[in-house]
Amino acid sequence: MIFSLCAEGKGPRVIANALREKKIPKPTMYRFMTEGIYTRADLDWTDKTSRSTLEMKDPTSRPQIAERCGNMGEYDTVYLGFPIWWYVAPTVIDTFLESYDFSGKTLIPFATSGGSGMGKTVEVLKKVCPDTVWKRGGMVNGMSKAELAKWAEKQ
């Protein structure tokens, strides 16, 4: 599962495809986006009135997902990819996690960031889905396909 900020979503898609190539059986990739694509202005974290800033300031913010994954119940393990915003996952990830029953499933978060690490991301996400088996996951930006494959094998 990949949260993409834009329709192109090249960065997350490259990472997901690299992971997908190395897993057996090959997983399904579901890329989800919010209703309404984020514009450059929406993502301006220095603007206190930007969409991303307002969403992240409000812990109850739950941006709507444009399209649901209809067969989530078929998966036991989900790799969940997203960018890091303010040292945690964007609030749309909470929307996604609250939209399905992940009880007993394994979730492996992976993220990209322009400058920060995972911070308390997994701790925060565990509160949203406490009955889920959470793997450590990690930051994957800048990894080669070989490094991504090695990382995926360790999960």
Spatial neighbors of 53 by CB under 8 A, at least 6 apart, are: 44, 45, 47
Biggest CA-to-CA distance, the chain: 44
pLDDT of residue 7: 43
Residue 60's CATH number: 3.40.50.360
Count of CB atoms within 10 A of residue 65's CB?
16
Query: Region 98-103: what's the mean pLDDT?
Result: 94
What is the domain range of residue 82?
2-154
Radius of gyration of the chain (CA): 15
Spatial neighbors of 29 by CB under 8 A, at least 6 apart, are: 1, 2, 13, 16, 17, 20
Q: How many domains does the chain have?
A: 1
pLDDT tens digit sequence for 37-96: 889 899 898 999 999 999 999 999 999 998 888 888 888 888 888 888 888 999 999 999
